[in-house]
Amino acid sequence: MKREPVRSSVIAEIGYDPDMQLMEVRFRSGSVYRYGPISGSLYTRFRKAPSLGRFFDAYIRDVVPYVQVS
């Protein structure tokens, strides 16, 4: 999945596959996690959030199922 760099003190890159409804997040630590299913609208709200870290903590972490991929 192609990821794009983002401006965040915690998150380095994010990517989304709309067909599979999966999102990947690479954290500044280097760890990569895949989250899903996640709707396109939630991913869009995440991308546009003023603080990616705060949005992630409130709406994704501990809410959306995930696996660590690296």
pTM, two decimal places: 0.94
Q: Name the residue among 70, 43, 69 with its Cα closest to residue 60.
A: 43
Residue type present at position 58: A
Prior bond to 37 cis, omega within 30?
yes
Are residues 4 and 12 in contact, defined by beta-carbon separation less than 8 angstroms? no
Note the pLDDT of residue 46.
98
For the segment 19-56, what is each residue's pLDDT rounded down to a tens digit? 999 999 999 999 999 999 999 999 999 999 999 999 99
